[in-house]
Amino acid sequence: MVDFAILTDNIEAFLQGLKITIISSLIALLSSFILGTLIAVLRMAPIKFLNWLGTAYVEFIRNIPVLVIIFFTYLAGNFGGLTAGTIGLSIYTAAFIAEAIRAGIMSVPKGQMEAARSTGLSYGQAMRMVILPQAIKIVIPSLGNQFLNLVKNSSLLAVVAGGDLMYQGDLISAKTYVTFDTYVFVALFYLILTVPLSIGVGLLEKHMARSN
């Protein structure tokens, strides 16, 4: 039987870790969305050098484990664990968001760009005001899945003492010498975060499918 005293005696630590996990995930989501959108635009820009930059970023980052990126940010950037972990998550997730948004841009009919340019808008203005809003709407379910993955990947903050849920679990396990029960409760707290997100993404996908 699972010892619920592990939960009740350490509830403040668990809740602190949960809070840090939520904060880090939200910050990483926002920053990776902004960076990913920029990279996607670079990959679709009519300038080959910008295309190369965007492609190089995506291919390089996607083929490196997120843990390595977090370690590199922590060691090379001289940041604290939480900051380094959040930056690492943002850099890594941005590559996948960029690909999702690029797919959304490619799904928008080419005539939309031509029509926008014919009204006098520059390429950048047409992309920002006409193409991107449509592309992002198309890939909202994919972005939801990336956020779900980001929350799970946030457990890697523990390796750089990020203060997250997994890190608190490590501390509790080391203090109590009760490993299995501790990580059962860690898993339950992650489920509290991820199950509603997963359900929400599924409902969003169904809603988007009906609206198309």
pLDDT tens-digit map of 156-207: 999 999 999 999 999 999 999 999 999 999 999 999 999 998 888 888 777 7
- pLDDT digits 0-9 by tens, 15-51: 999 999 999 999 999 999 999 999 999 998 888 899 9
Q: How many CB atoms lie within 10 A of CB 203?
A: 12
Is the pLDDT assigned to residue 87 strictly greater than 70? Answer: yes
Is the pLDDT assigned to residue 209 strictly greater than 80? Answer: no
Q: Write out the residue range of the structural domain in which residue 97 sits.
A: 5-211
121 torsion bin: left (phi>0), alpha (psi -120 to 50), beta (else): beta
How far is it, in rounded angstroms, from Cα 139 to Cα 158?
31
Output the six-digit token pair for 176.
């109590």
Task: Decide if 78 contacts 18 (C-beta within 8 A).
Answer: no
Count: domains in the chain? 1
- pLDDT category at 211 given cuts 50, 70, 90 is low
Residue identified by tokens 């996948």 is 96
CATH number at residue 183: 1.10.3720.10
pLDDT at 202: 81
* Secondary structure (3-state) at 82: helix
Can you tell me the mean pLDDT for 59-66? 94
Q: Measuring CA to CA, how many Å separate 75 from each of 47, 69, 157, 160, 164?
A: 35, 10, 13, 9, 19
210 exposure class (CB count in 10 Å sphere: 0-12, 13-18, 19+) = exposed
Can you tell me the mean pLDDT for 55-69? 94
Output the six-digit token pair for 43.
């990959």
Cβ neighbours for 59, distance < 8 A, ≥ 6 positions apart: none
